[in-house]
Structure 1
Amino acid sequence: MSSTIRDHNVPDHIATLISKPLLVELFTEELPPKALNKLGQAFAQGMRDGLAAHGLLDANCELSTFATPRRLAVRLTAVLSQAPQQSFSEKLMPVKIGLDDSGAGTPALLKKLASKGWEKIDLNTLARESDGKQDYLVLRGEAAGAKLGEVLQAVIESALAGLPIPKVMKYQLADGLTSVKFVRPAHALVTLFGQDIVPATILGLQAGRTTYGHRFLHPGSIDIKDANTYEDQLARQGHVLASFEARRNDIAKQLQTESERLGTTLSDDPAVAALLDEVTALVESPKVYVGAFEERFLTVPQECLILTMRLNQKYFPLFDPVSGKLTNQFLIVSNMPTAQPEAIIQGNERVVRPRLADAEFFYQTDRKTPLAERVATLGNIVYHNKLGSQLQRVDRVRQISAWIAHALNIDPTAADRAALLAKADLTTNMVGEFPELQGIMGAYYARGDGEATEVVDALHTQYRIRFDTPIHQEQLASAILFMADRAETLTGIWGIGLAPTGERDPFGLRRAALGLISAFEQLTAGGFLRINEHGSMTLDGLLQAAAKSFAVGTLTDSTVAEVNAFVIERLRNSLIQQFDRDAVEAVLALSPALHQIPARVKAVTAFMQLPAATSLAAANKRISNLLKKADQTTTSVDPSLLTDPAEINLAGIVDKLRPVATEQVTAGDYEAAMQTLAQAREPVDAFFTEVMVMADELAVRNNRLALLANLHGLMNQVADLSKLVTT
């Protein structure tokens, strides 16, 4: 759609201009692949925002983003050559300062107007406005809109400055004197408004229409005819698929086609999507080929082979769709489409073979030394200079594991063995080469050493993020090691002053806290922590045990309290994503055992849907305020002092409901307890309507306050209901 704008430099009868597409491309050396998509998106958004701020975008303008290994580009379909006129109003100065007694402009006013190019303005056209204290001179008028040719360079510079660049490079321009900074050296700049070049100088480059195609298939220059022909010209002439999204979709389709043809699958591992993003950023003209390696390598744990293929070679391993086992075939995403790919395939197979041979050698060499014999050498590996070696850490985790096993009243043998061996694989060749395989390799080696299944499973899952399903008997060693490891990390790292700050959390304490929370939840779901029990297996008890495992003086005195609050805050943030914030705050106000909190929140959430909820919550808040002001401590009620029918009725309902609700809370049936409480609504409403609590007679007043204290105790067994009152 076209838009008509006014050009104030030409007569009215020829002052109509239409909007046109705008293309901006910066051609560079290879950009960081893992950052490319974000860079492309940020550049496009920065250009859109910058042009919009100047009023240069047509209402129907659409945005296209382009990002390849050697270019960032954006096309906006409808950009104005000049923005429409803008009404403005500017407060100049107080009238008494701007005008003299005769009404003429003072030097101060004339200087102000001249500085803005308004020296020829008729002073009689200045408006006057009062701010309530004095009158001001105000200039109102119409200002010419921004011109694309005058602001585009600044918009591009601003968009580039706002890019999330991982690391900036400083390089010299062709003159050998001037230095500029960017993520990678830039070699060409295209700025086309329709067919016309918009003058600009960016990173020492003069804007033009020349770009370059595929590094090998079309290394020469390409002159872009028009902003709208950019994508098509790069594809046809340059052998470049410029759109990151289109290129990603093309690769994904090719991968899927080839894997289905071979009767295999790519697997549903999230790493596949991450690798797809990365290879999309490495190629401009993608073509998928099939490679293979010798089947003998499949005797190596498949995680090792998968990791080296994905991480080092950017290959896509293929799996048997039935067993899920790794096959000896893989897919290569090449930047060279050709009808004769044999050389490419063979070259990649030659490259991957030594990698797999290394993995095979590491595995076979590592197996010669049992994990248990490796534990002592952990004393040579520093965990943290303030917390000692990995061996000292192992000793702490074993102590914490023993405490957890005792608190859960289970045999500690398997958990202790798992804790002893947990970090032993840090000394292996395989983990030295691939740190990502910590725990996984430990499990393989432990199985080879004949360790118990519970121990092997604990080693394999110790680095999982969270428990997502109820914990069963055979998973107890895994859960204990998981919790002990995180408790040790949280108290140790926090206690030496390395708590998370802002978004920085280099030791993963937030994740550790969420992991602990999940373990408590799933131990409860599995029946090892009962809602109605207040045993020693509490968050505070666990953190206290963890703190005692450190040498005296290592941690600060407030470590346990601070870490406890930190974990509860993580739980709060998690729960308010699922439940009403007031319900969460009402439960947390009572500081119940961590494993009880979710059930209590669910009960309060259900209670809030009842007709009685609003009235009882308001009454509870009123009672809290009365008891605080009266400094009431006694709950002993004298029946002989109950004279008003409403207070007699309330006393009766409290006596009736309190044992029922208390028994329900003790049994962990929080929803039933809240339902029981709801029966008190009418007596409570009647009491506050008909009874004067603060009676003149002291004995009567204290007796009524004692009655309310009893009611308060009944009301707040599951949560502090006063927190449900939002006003």
Structure 2
Amino acid sequence: MSERETLLVELVTEELPPKALPRLGEAFGRGVLERLQARRLVDADAPWRWFASPRRLAVQVSGVRERAPDQAKEERLMPVAVAFDAAGKPTAALEKRLAAKGLTLQNAKLERRIEGKQEMLYLHTVEAGARLDEALAVLVAEAIRALPIPKLMRWGSGEAQFVRPVHRLVLLHGARVVPGRVLDLDSGRETLGHRFMSRGAIELAHAEAYEPTLRAEGKVIADFAERRAEIERQLQEKAAAEGDVLGEHAALLDEVTALVEHPTVYVGRFEEEFLAVPPECLILTMQANQKYFPLFDAQGRLTNRFLIVSNMHLPEPKSRNIVEGNQRVVRPRLADARFFYEQDRKERLESRLPRLDAIVYHNRIGTLGERVARLESLSGWLAERLAADVALARRAARLAKCDLVTQMVGEFPELQGVMGRYYALADGEPEAVAEAIEDHYKPRFAGDTLPRRLTGKIVALAERLDALAGLFAIGEIPTGEKDPYGLRRAALGVLRIAVETPLPLELDAAIERALAEQPPAVRAQAPADTVEKLRRFFDERLRHWLREAGHALDAIDAVLALRPGRIDTVPARLEAVAAFLEAPEAPTLAAANKRIANLLRKAGEEGAAHVDVALFAEPEEKALFEKMHAVAPYVASHLENEAYAQALSTLVALAAPVDAFFDRVMVLCDEPLLRANRLALLRELWRLMNQVADLSVLAREAGA
């Protein structure tokens, strides 16, 4: 058996992209592992770890063999009748096949095997196991090429390409260096530690000594998760010592973890006078520009204290230089934010509206100013139909984009909407208008909160409907994974606002109105089926969203088959369908509904316009008709009250007469009048039964 040892593969690089670091680290480690497994150099359940720091990617795999075990293989060659002639001599076809594998009839291990009525010839071979020394450099290079790196770079005079220049390659199998060359580098056992705190180049005695050696001699915590946990521990400790708390900081913590190898947290301060600036400005300045962690008091108010994660650990008094240096750096940034805020407040938000005419929204749809006019009109239309304050909705839409031309948003685009709210309040606008300016961008991503008030929800709907209608009209429809304008996200935002609020939004009417608001040139070139395409797009998003929420696919399809005008009713319809499927009569009704649908599809336009009771030839026809008209008022009442579960449960009374009807009555009989009347009866029954969902879709789910 080949000797097993821990394997270490490490690339020592220039500083790697911080936001991509954990993804690169795990992908590199998994890529090496899977290629070792494919060559049978390690077992499928072998323990492994990936490491990633600003200047390294590494993987450590336990139980790696020097040589993989040989593997017996068999191959079905050809029928024996083709391989040998009537005299039993090998044919040219067999000799040619064996020669292609470097074999002759004398050294090939062949087996005859009866398969059905034919005798087949099999070839047995032994595939030699891969040798680690021969395979490792190749598989590491393969793993590197497979990394999710959008842009590669070259360095020096070589041809090697990677996301950053690579300076060292470590390939250790136990205590032994595995020879190999990757990215124009020969393998070795020497690594580099912290850029400033390490004692210099470090020799690794053994693959298992990698992490403790780097920590002790190189001052590097190589494990990304461990380094992140250590930073979090220090952050919480320092915050508690100040009597403060950390706000939302997970994303910044990930980024900072990718920027440091030996983290130490210090407390910094700035002048309290800067707290007069909106906290969002100060927080963004600290987090985005300086990677600082702002601190908040027990009531959630921003304080003038922040936490610095340094890549150096220095004893007092030298550590004071780190703190003072960072405090000096942040002050001009905060002063800039205060200057922008004060300058912006000298001009009313509405006065900036004409400047939007100079900003192109889309070269085929028009300017941002023209879009604001559409949003104002569409918001007013939506407000009328949703029983909201039309004046507030129109006002909020009119001002929604004005902060885009402020100095603060020009410097920090992430604050669009946020600053609009502050400036609107300073101008004396109603609070509902100010909140809508901020909230109309919500939900910005999956799981984001919705706008707080109805006015904000209306402007948010208008924002998304306008974008969808305009871009669909000019053919900018998402395909595959490509969605450059975020239209899938926009459609989901409309659905979430309408369903989760809920709002009685008539989706088809809203789509038609949004399309009607587009510029004449856009409407003129829009395909005739634009509204239909857009509605199908919404239905696809809705189906995906409901599936992720755990609803059964058959139930979703049954409800959406009716294309309900008000999508806010969909959850209640789904609950009603789920309850209906629990009823013992559900299989009968679902199967009958499917049968009805098939009959009506087969008959096409055939059938009478109305049911004529005088033409009933069988008692089962009359019984079904009377039962339908007995339950119909109750179904209508339940539907009017949106009591969908009760509407479906009322239909259960039809199970017995429907069953009897199909047992005794021939619908597509030869007599024309009877046939037409029975088809009319089934059409009326179909309309009665399928007002909550298309029950025929449920036939399989109901066990029919």
Taking structure 1 as the reference length, the TM-score comes to 0.91
Residue 307 (structure 2) pairs with residue 307 (structure 1): no
- Is 1:468–1:518's contact at 8 Å kept on the other side of the alignment? no
Percent identical pairs in the alignment equals 48
Deviation (angstroms), 1:611: 1.3
| Unaligned runs of at least 5 residues, structure 2 | none
Contact 1:470 1:523 in 2 (8 A): no
Q: Distance in 1 between matches of 2:405 and 2:467?
A: 20
Q: Secondary structure at the match of 1:72?
A: strand
Contact 2:28 2:143 in 1 (8 A): yes
Q: Which amino acid aligns with 1:226?
A: H
Aligned runs of 1:33-112 on 2, under 5 Å? 33-58=18-43, 60-92=45-77, 103-105=88-90, 109-110=94-95, 112=97
**Which residue of structure 2 aligns with residue 607 of structure 1?**
580
Q: Does residue 1:146 correspond to 2:130, yes or no?
A: yes
> What residue is the counterpart of 1:479 in the other structure?
457
Q: 1:150 to 1:119 in 2, by over 3 A?
A: farther
Q: Distance in 1 between matches of 2:617 and 2:91?
A: 84
Equivalent of residue 593 in structure 2, options 616, 620, 634: 620
Q: Distance in 2 between matches of 1:229 and 1:409?
A: 70
Q: Please name the residue that 1:589 is paired with.
A: 561
State the alpha-carbon separation in 1 of the partners of residues 442 and 166 from structure 2: 42
Q: 1:695 Cα deviation (Å)? A: 4.1
CA gap 1:471/1:56 in 2 versus in 1, 3 angstroms = closer
Kindly report which structure 2 residues correspond to 1:333-412, keeping only aligned pairs within 5 A, or say none: 333-340=309-316, 341-412=319-390
Structure 2 contact 439–450 (Cα < 8 Å) conserved = no
Find the aligned partners of 1:279 and 1:539 in 2 and give their Cα distance.
44
CA deviations 1:159-213 (Å, max 9, x no partner) are 11111113211223xxx3x321111111111111111111111001111111011
Report how many residues are paired.
Answer: 692
- Within the candidate set 273, 279, 286, 2:250 is matched to 273
**C-alpha distance in 2, partners of 1:549/1:449?**
29
Q: Is the 8 A contact 2:443 2:450 kept in 1?
A: no
Q: For residues 375 and 191 of structure 2, what CA distance do their matches in structure 1 show?
A: 59
User: Aligned with 1:629: secondary structure?
Assistant: helix
Are 1:60 and 1:78, in contact at CA under 8 Å, matched by a contact in 2? Answer: no
* Alpha-carbon distance between aligned partners in 2 of 1:97 and 1:669, rounded to the nearest angstrom: 73
CA contact (8 A) 2:266 2:309 kept: yes
Compute the displacement of 1:667 (Å). Answer: 2.3
Q: Quick one: which of 679, 696, 699 aligns to 2:673?
A: 699
CA drift at 1:654 = 1.1
Mapped to 2, the partners of 1:352 and 1:470 lie a distance apart of: 31
Query: How far, CA to CA, are the matches of 1:102 and 1:719 in structure 2?
Result: 73
1:543 matched to 2:514: no
Q: Unpaired runs of 5+ in structure 1? A: 6-16, 530-536
Matched, 1:419 2:391: no
Q: How far did residue 463 of structure 1 move?
A: 1.1
Match for 1:559: what amino acid? T
Corresponding residue of 1:515: 493
* Whole-angstrom CA distance in 2 between matches of 1:107 and 1:705: 70
What amino acid does structure 2 have at the position aligned with 1:183? V
**2:155–2:161: 8 Å Cα contact kept in structure 1?**
yes
Structure 2 CA distance, aligned partners of 1:470 and 1:653? 48
TM-score (norm. length: structure 2): 0.93
Question: In 2, distance between residues paired with 1:199 and 1:60?
Answer: 26
Residue of structure 2 aligned with 1:291, choices 257, 268, 292: 268
Q: Pick from 522, 527, 533 the counterpart of residue 554 of structure 1.
A: 522
Letter in 2 for 1:563: L
Superposed displacement of residue 244, structure 1: 0.4
Tell me whether 209-218 or 560-569 shows the greater mean CA deviation.
560-569
Residue identity opposite 2:621 in structure 1: E
**What is the distance in 2 between the residues matched to 1:568 and 1:60?**
43
Q: Counterpart of 2:610?
A: 636
Give the structure 2 partner of residue 330 of structure 1. 306
422-431 vs 17-26, which deviates more? 17-26
Question: 1:253 corresponds to which residue?
Answer: 233
User: Per-residue deviation at 1:76?
Assistant: 0.7
Residue matched to 1:532: none
3-state SS of 1:317 partner = strand
User: Mean Cα displacement is larger for which, 630-639 or 717-726?
Assistant: 630-639
- Following superposition, the deviation at residue 130 of structure 1 comes to 7.5
Q: Distance in 1 between matches of 2:106 and 2:17?
A: 55
Over 3 Å counting, the alpha-carbon distance change for 1:365 and 1:598 in structure 2 is same
Equivalent residue, structure 1, for 2:694:
720
One-letter amino acid of the structure 1 residue matched with residue 685 of structure 2: L
Distance 1:121 1:186, change over 3 A: farther
Please state how far the C-alpha of 1:507 moved relative to its aligned partner: 1.4
User: RMSD over aligned Cα, in angstroms?
Assistant: 2.4
Task: Find the aligned partners of 1:98 and 1:195 in 2 and give their Cα distance.
Answer: 52
| One-letter amino acid of the counterpart of residue 304, structure 1 | C
SS in 2 for 1:237: helix
